[in-house]
Every structure is written in C-alpha cells, then in structure tokens.
Structure 1
Amino acid sequence: MNDRPRKQERWERRAELPLAVASVAFLAGYTVRILARGLPPGGRGLCLAVIFAAWAVFAVDYAVRLRLSGLGPLRFVRVHPLDTVVLMLPLLRPLRMVRLYERVQRRHDKPRLTLYARVMVYAGLTVALLGFAGALTVYDHEYGAPGATVRTFGDAVWWTCATLATVGYGDVAPVTPVGRMTAVGLMACGLALLGAVTGSFSSWLIQTFAREDEKRPPGDSPGAS
C-alpha cells in the first residue's frame, strides 16, 4: 500500500509552524536590513544570516516534499509551480503566515469564519503582506538610484498602495529593472486578490438577497402590483 500521501500530509502538518516562523524571521530580517540604513556591519550581517536561515528552512521543506512525492524534479515543478516560485522569490515567502492563520481559524475541522469571510480575510492579509514586502523591495533598489522618485519608504508605501489598487497616480514610479519587475508582479497580484475580495462580497450579497426573496410571500416582491 502506498503511504506517500499520508507521509506528505504528516510532514506538511509538522512543517507548517516552522515555515510560518521562518516567514516572520525572513520579513523581520529583511525589514531591518533595508530600513535601518545606519546599522553597523555586525547588525547587517546578523540580518543576512536570519534571511539565509529562513531561506534554508524553505529549501529543506521543498527538498523533503520533493522526496516524499516520488516525482522527478521537473514533474514536481510542473505539479507544484507555486511552491517553486515561493522558494525562488523572497517577496512571496511571508505569505506562509496566511496559511498559519488559516489553521488557527479551524477548530475540529470546521472553520470559524464563513467561506466568503475567509476569502476576504485571506485576500486582505495576502495583499497587506505582499504590499509591505513589495514596498521594501522597491525602496531597497530605488533608494539612491539616478532619477528615482521613490526616495523614502513612505514614497514606496504610497506607490505600492496605488499599484495594488490599480490606480496608478504616476507621481512616483520605479526606474530600476528590479523595481519595475516588482511593479508588474504587484499589479497582477493586486488585480487577482482584489478581484477575489470584490467577487466574494458580491456573491455574499446575491445569496443574502436571494434568501430574502425566498422568504417573501408570493406577490409581495418589490414592484409587484
């Protein structure tokens, strides 16, 4: 009997908390390294050590799940593309905290929040984490760049909010290649995640009104003569 799925499930359950802790550590180290410009070399080295240690935790998890899956590396990448992207892109690693929040919300295999509320909460958390990490990345690469308009972290946060909301005021914009690549990713994520929130809210409204219509007596609908 093939017990690979059971082993994978046990490993994912055990690794969830360490991965969430690694996500928090990565985000904290990344934040301090970028925002604390006057940090002494020893402090910057400590931040880098924390960042690489967090990445190592993700790499070990990826390697273990690859081995337990029984798939070849290329096929595993095709089956689990998002896991590969999260491993390679530091910007996405803090999203592991969203999965930990989901486990906390569950009690006896039953979610405490409704489906629509969970979608909106998870999308909101994802947008907040992505926005903060994106602002850090843009500020890190735009700070001091020739012709840059993102000169402070506040500018980076303002630009990130406008980008995620797909408003695009144009008062500040990245000029470096990494900054512009980050912008493209934030635009795509902003459209997808905000669409999930508005779509869930719209579905909730439609179901609410539909239930109210079902409770009305026949002929008691609005506009009926």
Structure 2
Amino acid sequence: MMMLNVKGIGMTSMRTRERMVGRLKEQGVNNHKILDAMRNTPRHLFVDEALASRAYEDTALPIGYNQTISQPYIVAKMTELLLASGPLAKVLEIGTGCGYQTAVLSQVVDYVYTVERIQPLQKKAKNLVWSLKHKNISYLHSDGGWGWPDHAPYDGILVTAAPPEIPEMLLRQLAVGGVMVIPIGHAGGQELQRVTRNASGFEVEILESVNFVPFLSGRE
C-alpha cells in the first residue's frame, strides 16, 4: 500500500492549492464541483518529486515518455466545457497520462473510461488514482484513435493530445446530445474545439489556442 502525503507541506500545502483555485476563478472557471475537485486532487503526487514544489503553478510539467501533465487551468477549463450542458454519466478520456485529469473527472462525472497507449505510464497512473480511492474508473491500454467501442456511446469524450483532425472512431462513439472536448492541429497552431452531436450531425465550436503533445497512434 502506497503511503501518500496527500495534504502536502510548504509549496504543496493546502494553502498553495487554495491559491491555485483562486487563480482558476480569476481565469473564469466557476463550476464549484470542478473547483472542489481541483482543490481536493493532490497534483504534487502526479509529478516527479523533484518537481513537486512547482505542482500548483499554472504550467504544464514533464511526466516522462515525452508526455506532460497539463496546466491546472487547461484541466479545469476542459472539464468545465465538457460539463457545460449538465451532469454526465459516462465519459471517455483519451490519454490517461499521469492520471491527474482522470482523477479530476472521476469526481465530477458518474464513470470514466480512460485509454492510454503507453502502458507503464497508465499502470503508474492507475495505482496512484486507485490509492486516492477514485474507483469509478476503467482503464484500457490501447491506441487512443480507436476509442473504447465496447462501452460506447459516451455522454462525453475528453481528449488530452492533439490530432490534426478529429478521429472518425471517436465521433462514432459520441452519444446523440454528447459533447467532445479536443485539441486539434499541429505544434504551434492548435485550437481547442468542442464538438456536440445532435440528431442531424455534429456542431463544432472553436474555443481558444492551446499547446498539447501530438496525438500518436500505436501502443507502447
């Protein structure tokens, strides 16, 4: 059993976390459930110990395997965009990464299905998130472009890496009335999009410029 310093000290303390939440409010995040999830999730445990003191800065940090943990604002904002139309029962996350976004999502939706192509990264994330007692999550090691058809359709899909265009398989797995939040584009020219599926097709909103790792195919 992992012994975790969930409360943190100094630059990882609850006071530092409260400052992060204050910044998120200033940046326009106002969903209280999401702010509570950000406050309650110990981001310092999701990064290397050497970077723990920077965990609550509004910056992306490396997590190994050429991947990053997204800045707190992006995690909160993407989650808020996903939930803008109301509560969600079943959400597909593409890109488990270190598990931070997964842990936040699991506190604001009924159930999370998360897919990651890098197996050791997902295994580490699963162990940490489980030890934090977030158990409404299923994990799959697979190519994210395939989604997770077994449990489709999903009320929400959140993608944490940027493909040049929206993968067709993910569109097919979105329920009618469902919402996908996804970064699209190449390095230096990405935009965050929200895709809503309605009875006649898909409505796409372009939201803001972002900078994500590229969406890669295959498994490692």
TM (normalized to structure 1)? 0.29
Structure (1 or 2) with the larger CA radius of gyration: 1
Higher relative contact order (CA 8 A, sep 6+): 1
